[in-house]
Amino acid sequence: MNFLVTLINGLSLGGIYAMIALGYTMVYGIAKMLNFAHGDVLMVGGYVMFVFLAINAHPLLALLVAVIFCTLFGIGIEYVAYRPLRGASPLAVLITAIGVSYLLQSLAQIIFGSETRYVTVAELGLVKIGSLSLSVATLVTLGVCLAVMLVLHLFVRYSRIGRAMVAVSEDRGAASLMGISVNFIISLTFAIGFALAALASFFYLMKTPIITPTLGSMPGIKAFTAAVIGGIGSIPGAMLGGLLLGLVECFSNAVPALAPYTDAIEFALLIVILLGKPTGFLGKIRREKV
Amino acid sequence: MMSFFQKYKLKHYVNYAVIALFTLIFTILSLSGALHSSTQYLLEAMGISMILAVSLNLVVGLLGELSLGHAGFMCLGAYLGGKVASLLAPSLGESSPLTLLLSLAVGGVVAALAGLLIGLPALRLKGDYLAVVTLAFGEIVRVLFKNSGESFGGAQGLATPRFDRQTLFLWIFLSLLVCLFFLQNLMRSKHGRAITAIRDNEIAARASGVSVVKYKLLAFMLSSFFAGVAGVLFSFSQFNVRFDHFDYNYSIEILVMIVLGGLGSINGSLVAASLITFLNVKLADVLTGNLAILQDLVYALILILVIIYSNAPALKNFRERFNLRRLWGKIRKPKKADASVQRDDANDWAEIPTKIPMNEILSTDLSPVDSSVKARGDAPADREEDRHD
């Protein structure tokens, strides 16, 4: 019985990681950059919801505002910080992303202070299924995550804009010759990624209702790890990696002897998987040509 | 003796001289008691950052592999070196150089072994995948020391012996000089050339007979060895080693130093490391109280603006017009700059020992080249004739 509860908890945590990882992986696949500031969007979304809940707004309204804010924010950051560096060396872009991450954390610290804030986004109670008692929040998280992933998968696979995204990720030059506006697609990718991170932030706070300016960094790294395990650039890969990482984390936390080493186990898992499959589970293997 | 100076140009020694001079001045100041303890701390921090930056540059700038776990190697060195020091201190004395040297050796060697361990996946993984492995390694090391229990101080951190403050920075700068001497000579040897050849084109390097396995592992081991050394020095400088200092933000700070200093440039990373450390320590000093939270903001803004300014493709023309080196050249030598470069070239050519008289080669009439170009220009016409047949 305990096993089933841990399994469902793991899947729901994995769903949160997967949602953040989707943003990572889409931005990597399409803009060819590691957006290290991605985890911090989780924090930004969290503070937006914190402000709106403080004035007694409905949680769903707060979520909606956070998603819209983060979407616009993503477009803005891309425009100001990343677009000038299009075509520069990947390392320069990476460092800029790190700079943006520091900037967001320090702005949050200036505006809200470095103290821990508690926020209750929603209290949903427990539900009994047979002899299992599960928190409704976990089930909702799991359901929404799976739905979001499905919608995103269908969007990228079948819609015109989604196909354009795939085209840009495969060959930016050729895509722009086919009449696709590369700048628009990259902005859109950032917008979708940041919106997903804001959504993930809602469920993350439902699970652990604590906000600090550095809230995003650990889930950010974990989601990055998840994206790499699944094969960075691959959307189903990010889902797979996220769910796997969530399961490992919950099962490791459930064993008292392993619990302090959970993070180490997750990262060791990453190294082992990469040694076996150097581009992750579903990553594309690019043959090097002379 | 003459050949020695011809082979090793004076400019290769300037950075040693500058650092040695600074060390000497500050040693005199320190021994005469004129040095404030905060300045001493600043010097220690700068020296450690420089060792870290130069050693990371070996992997990122010269080997061309992105590493996000440099603080992990430093953490290993700091904990193990600190442990050795605290074991030896009762018998050898807290400020004995022998304690320091032994712990430096242990910390460096253990970090180098870890570097070997991380170098192995580097043989199989490329680019960002390797970067995430190094990041994961750094986090694993941190978690392990966090849960290490009594032997390494656990969550409290490990207390290290109190080394004599007045001479510690001297040891740090000596280590920096050793590190520089080692790396700069390595880079000018055939081994260093092999490492940069792997960076420029791994396939071509392999085809030319460079052992990629050997040199990748060598670069990772050396780099982590010096990171471990820096860690040991850090543990002496802090009196207390805590795992949470070595998070991935710290690795990234070192990376920022070498990117701002110019990838692959050892002097660049020395300058950038000392400037950034100076900025960090001074910002922490100046911005006290309510202003303290501005420190990260200022740091982040400087970082973003500098990177955009020095890398944005749209600003290329602007950068070239206001290039420091060009401006300096204009001030120093208004017009003769080009002529002097040419004369140096001719001297260098003349000095190459060869049995062919250089003057004859240099005065050879090059006109046949033109006719060959013409002949090549005719080639397509020939091919067309072939097709007609």
A228 at interface of B, judged by CB pairs closer than 8 A: yes
Using an 8 Å CB-CB cutoff, list chain B residues near A91: 60, 66, 259, 263
The pLDDT-based confidence of B129 (bands split at 50, 70, 90) is: confident
The mean per-residue pLDDT over the stretch A35-44 comes to 91
Whole-number Å distance between alpha carbons of A35 and A223: 12
Ramachandran quadrant class, B191 (left: phi over 0; alpha: psi -120 to 50; beta: rest): alpha
Q: Could A268 and B136 be called an inter-chain contact, meaning their C-beta atoms sit closer than 8 Å? A: yes
- The angle formed by the CA atoms of residues B213, B216 and B220, to the nearest 5 degrees, is 135
Question: Which tens digits make up the pLDDT trace of A57-72?
Answer: 888 999 999 999 999 9
Ramachandran quadrant class, A167 (left: phi over 0; alpha: psi -120 to 50; beta: rest): alpha
> Average pLDDT, whole number, for chain B?
81
Cβ proximity of B326 and A143 under 8 Å: no
Q: Could B307 and A92 be called an inter-chain contact, meaning their C-beta atoms sit closer than 8 Å? A: yes
Length of chain B: 389
Q: How far is B140 from chain A (nearest CA, A)?
A: 4
Q: Looking at the partner chain, which of A95, A109, A268 has a beta carbon nearest the beta carbon of B256? A: A95
The pLDDT-based confidence of B376 (bands split at 50, 70, 90) is: very low
Chain-centroid distance, C-alpha A190: 12
Lowest mean pLDDT among A161-165, B9-13, B56-60, B230-234: B9-13
The mean per-residue pLDDT over the stretch B295-301 comes to 82
Using an 8 Å CB-CB cutoff, list chain A residues near B310: 92
Kind and range of the H or E element at B241?
strand B240-241
Using an 8 Å CB-CB cutoff, list chain A residues near B314: 84
**Helical segments of B123-241, H only:** 127-146, 165-188, 190-200, 202-207, 212-238
Coil/strand/helix, residue B139: helix
Q: Could A290 and B307 be called an inter-chain contact, meaning their C-beta atoms sit closer than 8 Å? A: no
Listed residue (A247, A195, A201, A242) closest to A223, CA to CA: A242
Kind and range of the H or E element at B18?
helix B14-31
Q: How far is CA A210 from CA A37, A197, A215, A259, in A?
A: 20, 17, 8, 20
Closest residue in B to A280 (Cα) is: B129
For chain A positions 26-65, those within 8 Å of chain B (CB to CB) are 28, 34
Lowest mean pLDDT among B170-179, B204-213, B281-290: B281-290
Listed residue (B218, B63, B67, B200) closest to B128, CA to CA: B67
The pLDDT-based confidence of B361 (bands split at 50, 70, 90) is: low
Q: Could B124 and A290 be called an inter-chain contact, meaning their C-beta atoms sit closer than 8 Å? A: no
- The pLDDT value given to residue B345: 61
Pairing of the two strands A126-129 and A132-135 = antiparallel
The Cβ-side half-sphere exposure at A256, using a 13 Å CA radius, reads: 0
Q: Looking at the partner chain, which of A89, A98, A270 has a beta carbon nearest the beta carbon of B132? A: A270
A147 at interface of B, judged by CB pairs closer than 8 A: no
Buried b (16+ CB within 10 A) or exposed e, A19-29: bbbbbbbbbbb
Q: What is this structure's pTM?
A: 0.82
The mean per-residue pLDDT over the stretch A79-84 comes to 91
Chain-centroid distance, C-alpha A169: 19
Q: How far is B148 from chain A (nearest CA, A)?
A: 10
Question: Which tens digits make up the pLDDT trace of A186-243?
Answer: 999 999 999 999 999 999 998 888 999 888 888 998 999 999 899 888 888 998 999 9
In chain B the domains, ranked by start, together with CATH numbers, are 13-286 (1.10.3470), 337-388 (no CATH)
- The pLDDT value given to residue B289: 66
Q: Exposed, middle or buried by CB within 10 Å (0-12, 13-18, 19+), for A131? A: exposed
B349 pLDDT above the threshold of 80: no
A114 at interface of B, judged by CB pairs closer than 8 A: yes
The mean per-residue pLDDT over the stretch B58-77 comes to 92
Q: Could B143 and A102 be called an inter-chain contact, meaning their C-beta atoms sit closer than 8 Å? A: no
Q: Could A85 and B294 be called an inter-chain contact, meaning their C-beta atoms sit closer than 8 Å? A: no
